[in-house]
Every structure is written in C-alpha cells, then in structure tokens.
C-alpha cells in the first residue's frame, strides 16, 4: 500500500480520540509525524499523558508527543469529565507511559513541521478544541498556504449541539480559535455531529473489537464500554457516537462520507449560541465556501474498516 498522508494529530484524549489515534497508527497509508495535545475533554497534563499511553498501547513508543495550550484563547477552559471520566481515558487499566513528552511546545512543532515539509504535503487531523492550530496560524500565518487540509471533528447543524442546544463541544470550548481556523483560508473537511451521531458503538460492534483477542482490541472495547454509557442514556440509543475516528477514516476511505462545500461561520458573540457553527447548507448567502461539510456516512463500512485495521495492532 502506498503512503498517501503525512499527518499531525491534534487531540484531547478522550476515548474517541484514542480510537482515532489507534486507527491512524494501524494504517500503512498514514505517516504520523507527531501528536500535539490540547486541553479539552480533560486538562492538558492528562491529555498529553493519555496520548502517550495510547502510543504505547499501539507499540509506538517511538512517536513524538507535544504539549500545547493549557486553555482556550479567550474563554475559561470547560472540560467533560462527566463523559470521559476523571482521567479522560476511563475504562481500561493502561500503564503510565514511559516514553517522554517532547520539550518543544506543540505550537512550535506545528510551525516548524509545516515550514520544513513540502508545501501541501501535511494534513492536520483536529480532534479537540482548535486552540493549538489557531495559535500556530496566528503566530506564523505563512503556514496557512502550506497546509494540505485540516480534517476536523467539530460543530453540528441539522443535529444541533451536544454541550448546549446550539454548540458542539470542540467548537464551544474554544470558539475564538475555531473562528480563526475557519477564516484562515485553509481547505477544511468538517465532520460535524450530523455525521458522528450516525456512527454508533452498538454492543455487537464493541464485541467485535473484544473478539480480536489482542491487547488493543480489549482496551478499545473497555474504552468504548465506558464512553458510551453517558450518551446511551442521553440519546436512548444502542451505543454512543464514535466522533473522532471519522476524521481518520475520511483519509483512508473518503467515499464512506458524503457532504458539500459550504460557508461555515462560528458564533463568538452570543452567550445563548456561543460556539454554534452556522452552516450555509442551502447556499442562501454569497459568503465564501470555506469547508467541505459532511452530512452522511456508511456506518457499517466505517466499523468494518476500523475493526479490520485495529486487528493489526498488538
Ligand atoms: C467531541 O468532543 C469530545 O468530547 C470528543 O472527544 C469529540 O472530539 C464530540 O463533541
Ligand atoms: Ca476529542
């Protein structure tokens, strides 16, 4: 298989972030240049540790993990322990990592990498609040035209919000960063709740991970058993939405998803709708189309891909 994607994963693990990272590490088409951690689901000290735990679970203690922003650009940090547990990765017992945290700041790593690598060669997979990416774009605007694309999990439109009636968690936590990213002129592929709420971790699908009979398979099943308990109650579904792996699955099999180019604006002024992604799906304005917004997904195909890929990990 040929190498198609050089990526940096910006993340706040998070059980679903963890599965997204595992999917990337299991896929020969993808080279992970580094993982940058951001505060989000839990504070930064936990997200960077969790990122390292996941690398080691996948047998990839050689990867580089960088710590980034401790809080959003303007607003105070909002976390989601009520979903992810106290550690952010509640569920399996994962050992404390022995691989080091890099001493370079995540924002410096992003800038250095994008300035060094060929123009248009790097994809950023954004799985958390967009603080690190906005900071990099603000500090070194010359990186913008060098980014191949930002594929992000965030926002929602037809489906509404999950943390307020209007807003999805990643965008809500740092709406100012999200606004800066959507306005940067970088190609964006957006996986909103409209997609991720269709990708449900049903009991049968989780069993398939456990049945792999590997350390990664059992840990994934334990992560998802914990993760889905909150959303199953909230939405009354069999399983919870597996948000972040949609980003990596898009790189591997874009045909699993369908959407259209739209204008997306982020609300930063109104407390009522703070962090709402206003998507001009019907093209009722002449505002520029700044994102490919996904709306549908082949969820069976998605889980087939994920299960088949995770099977190659230890
Ligand atoms: C997003 O918020 C986090 O809780 C998940 O990791 C995902 O990135 C879903 O709204
Ligand atoms: Ca996340």
Q: How far is CA 4 from CA 121, 128, 150, 156, 219, in A?
A: 9, 23, 15, 28, 28
pLDDT of res. 2: 61
Q: How many domains does one find in the chain? A: 1
pLDDT of res. 243: 98
Q: How far is CA 309 from CA 12, 45, 235, 278, 302, in A?
A: 22, 29, 28, 34, 11
Give the residue, by CA position, lying nearest to ligand 1 atom 4.
Answer: 41
SS3 content of the chain, % helix, strand, coil (to 5): 40, 20, 45
**How far is ligand 1, taken at its centre, from the CA of residue 246, in Å?**
11
**Domain around 74:** 5-309
Q: How far is CA 312 from CA 103, 166, 194, 260, in A?
A: 31, 39, 30, 33
**How far is ligand 2, taken at its centre, from the CA of residue 38, in Å?**
9
**Residue 29 lies inside a defined structural domain of this protein:** yes
Q: Ligand 1: which atom is nearest the Cα of residue 163? A: 10
**Residue 314 lies inside a defined structural domain of this protein:** no
> Which of 32, 40, 91 has the alpha carbon at shortest distance from 70?
40
**How far is ligand 2, taken at its centre, from the CA of residue 11, in Å?**
6
CATH assignment at residue 289: 3.90.245.10
Q: How far is CA 41 from CA 2, 46, 229, 245, in A?
A: 34, 9, 16, 16
**Residues 13, 245: contact at Cβ < 8 Å?**
no
Cβ < 6 Å from ligand 1: which residues? Answer: 14, 16-17, 41, 80, 83, 127-128, 153, 162, 168-170, 243-244
Phi first, then psi: what are they for 59, rounded to 5°?
75, 25
**Residues 171, 155: contact at Cβ < 8 Å?**
yes
**Residues 266, 295: contact at Cβ < 8 Å?**
no
**Residue 15 lies inside a defined structural domain of this protein:** yes
Ligand nearest to the CA of 173: 1
**Residue 26 lies inside a defined structural domain of this protein:** yes
Q: Ligand 1: which atom is nearest the Cα of residue 84? A: 4
Q: Tell me which H or E stretch contains 91.
A: none
pLDDT of res. 3: 65
Q: Ligand 1: which atom is nearest the Cα of residue 243? A: 7
Per-residue pLDDT of the chain in tens (314 residues, 90 and over written 9): 566 999 999 999 999 999 999 999 999 999 999 999 999 999 999 999 999 999 999 999 999 999 999 999 999 999 999 988 999 999 999 999 999 999 999 999 999 999 999 999 999 999 999 999 999 999 999 999 999 999 999 999 999 999 999 999 999 999 999 999 999 999 999 999 999 999 999 999 999 999 999 999 999 999 999 988 888 888 888 889 999 999 999 999 999 999 999 999 999 999 999 999 999 999 999 999 999 999 999 999 999 999 999 999 99
pLDDT of res. 1: 53
One-character DSSP codes across 120-160: T-EEEEE-S-SHHHHHHHHH-GGGGGGEEEEEEE---STT-
Catalytic amino acids? 243
Ligand nearest to the CA of 277: 1
Ligand nearest to the CA of 194: 1
Q: Is the peptide bond before 14 cis (omega within 30 degrees of 0)?
A: yes
> Which of 96, 99, 129, 169 has the alpha carbon at shortest distance from 12?
129
**How far is ligand 1, taken at its centre, from the CA of residue 127, in Å?**
7
**Residues 38, 263: contact at Cβ < 8 Å?**
no
pTM confidence score:
0.97
């Amino acid at each position: 298989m040929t190498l198609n994607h050089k990526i940096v994963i910006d993340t706040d693990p998070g059980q679903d972030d963890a599965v997204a990272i595992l999917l990337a590490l299991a896929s020969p088409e993808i080279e992970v240049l580094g993982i940058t951690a951001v505060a989000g689901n839990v504070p930064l000290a936990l997200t960077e540790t969790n990122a390292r735990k996941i690398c080691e679970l996948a047998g990839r203690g050689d990867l580089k993990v960088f710590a980034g922003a401790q809080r959003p650009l303007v607003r105070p940090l909002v976390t989601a322990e009520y979903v992810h547990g106290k550690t952010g990765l509640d569920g399996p017992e994962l050992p404390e990592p022995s691989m080091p945290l890099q001493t370079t700041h995540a924002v410096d790593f992003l800038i250095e990498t994008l300035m060094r690598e060929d123009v248009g060669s790097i994809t950023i997979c954004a799985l958390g609040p967009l603080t690190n990416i906005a900071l990099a774009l603000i500090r070194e605007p010359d990186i913008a035209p060098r980014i191949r694309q930002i594929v992000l999990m965030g926002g929602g439109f037809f489906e509404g919000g999950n943390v307020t009636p209007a807003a999805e968690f990643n965008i809500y936590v740092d709406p100012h960063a999200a606004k800066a990213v959507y306005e940067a002129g970088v190609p964006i592929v957006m996986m909103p709740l409209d997609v991720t709420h269709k990708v449900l971790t049903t009991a049968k699908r989780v069993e398939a991970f456990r049945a792999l009979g590997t350390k990664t398979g059992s840990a994934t099943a334990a992560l998802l058993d914990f993760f889905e308990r909150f959303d199953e109650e909230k939405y009354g579904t069999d399983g919870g939405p597996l948000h972040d792996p949609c980003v990596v699955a898009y790189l591997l099999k874009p045909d699993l998803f369908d959407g259209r180019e739209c204008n997306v604006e982020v609300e930063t002024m109104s407390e009522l709708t703070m962090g709402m992604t206003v998507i001009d799906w019907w093209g009722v304005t002449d505002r520029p189309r700044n994102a490919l917004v996904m709306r549908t997904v082949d969820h069976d195909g998605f889980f087939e891909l994920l299960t088949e890929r995770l099977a190659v990990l230890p």
